[in-house]
Structure 1
Amino acid sequence: MIQRFIELGEGYGDSFELCELARVNKDRIYRAFIFTSPKNGKEVISIAIALKPVNDTNFFPIYICREGIPQTQPESKRLSTFTETLKELHVEPIRISIKHSSTFADNDLFYQYIIGILRLNHYIPPFH
């Protein structure tokens, strides 16, 4: 199974696009994630949804808005919209603390790191 991150952006307007993608694909949602990462002494948030493959394909997409949402109190509008959308779809997001993408030489290594964490914790199917 090919598991690949598809980056929509950094969590600005694209976070609303991710919510719409979740609504349109509500029957395909496998899991939803809220990743937190430390950056310059503060936490930033990435939001993502993993979708089941279409028909008999081996493609398992994980759509993500990477590190563009600051951790704030009260919760930012972008994050609250994502959590409200998931609640409407009866999906409980999984919250995971991860390293910031700047820790890695490139984004491909960053995404391989996250896929490893998700597989290790059985949040996504094993690689076939």
Structure 2
Amino acid sequence: MIQRFIELGEGYSDIYEWLELLKTNEHRFHRVCILTSVSNDVKKLSVALILKPVDESKFTPIYFCREGIEYSAVKTSKRIQLVEKTLQERNYSPHRLEVKHSSYFAEPALYHQYLIGLFRLHHILPPLS
């Protein structure tokens, strides 16, 4: 089984594409994750949409908007409100994880491997077959 991240962007306007992928692929929906990371004392959010493989395919796509949404305990970002509202309308509950910031890793592929390991550890992704 191949589990791969497809980065859409940092979630500024890309969040609308991410939401559309969620809405149009409900028949393939597996999980949604909201990830929190900290860099230079600034908390950032990422969102990940995990879809089931198509038919006999062994490919599990993870659509990802990485660290573009600032987190504030005082005022919730309109983008994260939109994500949470859309999930609530569909009766989906996101998995929330605190993760290392991507700047800790030399390249995005290593960060993606780290996240896939965490997703497997928390049973968000199925084990490799």
- Find the counterpart in structure 1 of residue 71 from structure 2: 71
Decide whether the 8 Å contact of 1:16 with 1:81 is kept in 2: no
Q: State TM-score, norm by structure 2.
A: 0.97
2:96 maps to a residue whose letter is R
- Find the counterpart in structure 2 of residue 45 from structure 1: 45
1:120, CA displacement in angstroms?
1.0
1:48, CA displacement in angstroms?
1.0
Distance, in Å, in 2 between the alignment partners of 1:27 and 1:90 is 14
Kindly report which structure 2 residues correspond to 1:50-61, keeping only aligned pairs within 5 A, or say none.
50-61=50-61
Distance, in Å, in 2 between the alignment partners of 1:74 and 1:29 is 29
1:90, CA displacement in angstroms?
1.4
Q: Which string of whole-angstrom CA distances, capped at 9 and with x for unpartnered residues, describes residues 41-93 of structure 1?
A: 12100011100011110000000000000002321011111111111121100
1:125 maps to a residue whose letter is P
- Find the counterpart in structure 1 of residue 94 from structure 2: 93
> Is residue 2:23 matched to residue 1:16?
no
Distance, in Å, in 2 between the alignment partners of 1:52 and 1:65 is 18
Which consecutive unaligned segments of at least 5 residues does structure 2 have? none
- Find the counterpart in structure 2 of residue 110 from structure 1: 111
Q: State TM-score, norm by structure 1.
A: 0.97
Moved over 2 A (4+): none
The count of aligned residue pairs is 128
Decide whether the 8 Å contact of 1:86 with 1:92 is kept in 2: yes
Percent identity, aligned pairs only, is 48
